[in-house]
């Protein structure tokens, strides 16, 4: 597809795609973007996902964190990516996760017997809450906990309490997205969180987004397969989308990841959905191997950031 036809194809998609195309690729005024964004709650994927919430319990699939990917936590994570404005149901769901999940150390774990939080889950819930404008006395302890858990190499690892000494790509991207969402929502510790994001970005750069920093091999082949929804999993496109969203410096060490994105483009100009993480889904937005509006949107805005002035 020529660029104009590619934009037309993206704009034929769900409202959750359209408003982000309008904002990130077309640069349209906020009023037009917000008008389209408001339709996410009433039309298409967002509406269908909101309809699955139990009105009495405010939960999805009668679970806080499980089953994957239909539980309250992951349903709200997906909704935060679709981008509806906060509804009463969303607010009740976020309130429930914060009330049930925050442990005495400020971290998040929904297991009743847990005394301390789990870093991946903490980062994800911070991102969920902040995406819907919740940055208050309930989220500050999560931020404090995440800052304490940062490791010497700049990243994070949920296995640190069990002896891990090197950061994890998965945990690091979940925390970085959480800190960025918190900062974007105007959290009181925004200056501090930005300062602490920088070593996390350096962790990604030192590993060239998917390689061992010592031996140079690909850490996991799945890092090169682009998925959406991504759950708690890392891949190169997810890492680059975080970097472009936060206006990170275009470090030359990201260049190999950029070339990987370019190489995944199909002759028709689109990017396919390459991977699906095992578990239940409320809806299959896009089939594996077929042109993906999610991956195409994210790849195009990554390339716009990389190739921009």
pLDDT digits (tens, 9 = 90+) for 133-188: 999 999 999 999 999 999 999 999 999 999 999 999 999 999 999 999 999 999 99
Q: pLDDT digits over 225-263, tens only?
A: 999 999 999 999 999 999 999 999 999 999 999 999 999
**Can you give the pLDDT at residue 306?**
98
Domain boundaries, the chain: 207-309
Distances (CA, A) of 289 to 225, 273, 279: 11, 5, 18
Identify the CA nearest to 82 among candidates 303, 305, 294, 308. Answer: 294
Say if CB 58 and CB 96 are below 8 A apart.
yes
To the nearest 10°, the Cα dihedral for 242, 245, 249, 252?
A: 50
pLDDT band for 2, please (50, 70, 90 cuts). low
166 Cβ contact list (under 8 Å, min separation 6): 151, 153, 157
Distances (CA, A) of 252 to 238, 259, 263, 264: 18, 11, 17, 20
Say if CB 274 and CB 290 are below 8 A apart.
no
Q: pLDDT digits over 3-51, tens only?
A: 789 999 999 999 999 999 999 999 999 999 999 999 999 999 999 999 9
Q: Report the C-alpha gap between 140 and 106 in whole angstroms.
A: 8
Q: pLDDT digits over 70-90, tens only?
A: 999 999 999 999 999 999 999
To the nearest 10°, the Cα dihedral for 242, 243, 248, 249?
A: 180
Residue 289, exposed/middle/buried by CB under 10 A (0-12, 13-18, 19+)?
A: exposed
Q: Report the C-alpha gap between 306 and 300 in whole angstroms.
A: 10
Alpha helices in the chain (DSSP H): 3-11, 15-24, 30-37, 44-51, 72-82, 88-101, 119-131, 140-149, 169-184, 190-206, 236-245, 255-263, 293-307
**Can you give the pLDDT at residue 4?**
82
Tokens of 257: 């990841």
pLDDT at 1 over 60: no
Q: pLDDT digits over 94-120, tens only?
A: 999 999 999 999 999 999 899 999 999
Beta-ladder partners of 218: 211
**Can you give the pLDDT at residue 201?**
98
Gyration radius of the chain over CA positions = 19
The alpha carbon of residue 140 and the mean position of all alpha carbons in its chain are separated, in whole angstroms, by: 20
**Can you give the pLDDT at residue 309?**
83
Beta-ladder partners of 291: 272
Q: Report the C-alpha gap between 294 and 199 in whole angstroms.
A: 28
Output the pTM of the full model.
Answer: 0.97
Helix, strand or coil, per DSSP, at residue 286: coil
Beta-ladder partners of 275: 227
User: Which DSSP symbol is given to 86?
Assistant: P
**Angle of CA points 292, 245, 89, to nearest 5°:** 75
């Amino acid at each position: 597809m020529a660029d104009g036809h590619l934009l037309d194809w993206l704009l034929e998609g769900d409202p959750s795609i359209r408003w982000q195309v309008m904002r990130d690729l077309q640069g349209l005024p906020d009023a037009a973007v917000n008008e389209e964004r408001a339709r996410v709650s009433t039309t298409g994927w967002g509406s269908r996902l909101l309809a699955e919430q139990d009105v009495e319990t405010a939960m999805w699939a009668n679970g806080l964190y499980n089953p994957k990917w239909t539980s309250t936590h992951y349903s709200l994570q997906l909704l935060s990516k679709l981008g509806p404005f906060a509804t009463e149901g969303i607010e009740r769901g976020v309130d429930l996760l914060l009330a049930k999940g925050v442990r005495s150390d400020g971290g998040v774990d929904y297991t009743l017997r847990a005394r301390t939080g789990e870093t991946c889950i903490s980062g994800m819930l911070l991102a969920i809450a902040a995406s819907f404008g919740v940055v208050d006395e309930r989220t500050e302890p999560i931020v404090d906990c995440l800052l304490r858990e940062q490791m010497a190499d700049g990243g994070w690892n949920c296995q640190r309490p069990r002896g891990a000494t090197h950061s994890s790509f998965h945990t690091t991207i979940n925390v970085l997205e959480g800190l960025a969402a918190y900062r974007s929502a105007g959290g009181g510790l925004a200056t501090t969180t930005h300062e602490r994001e920088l070593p996390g970005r350096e962790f990604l750069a030192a590993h060239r987004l998917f390689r061992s920093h010592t031996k140079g091999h690909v850490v996991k082949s799945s890092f090169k397969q682009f998925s959406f929804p991504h759950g708690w999993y890392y891949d190169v496109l997810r890492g680059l989308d975080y970097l472009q969203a936060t206006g990170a410096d275009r470090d030359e060490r990201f260049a190999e990841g950029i070339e990987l994105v370019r190489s995944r483009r199909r002759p028709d100009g689109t990017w396919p959905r390459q991977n699906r993480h095992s578990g239940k889904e409320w809806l299959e937005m896009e089939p594996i191997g077929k042109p993906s509006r999610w991956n195409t949107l994210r790849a195009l805005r990554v390339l716009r950031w990389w190739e921009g002035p």
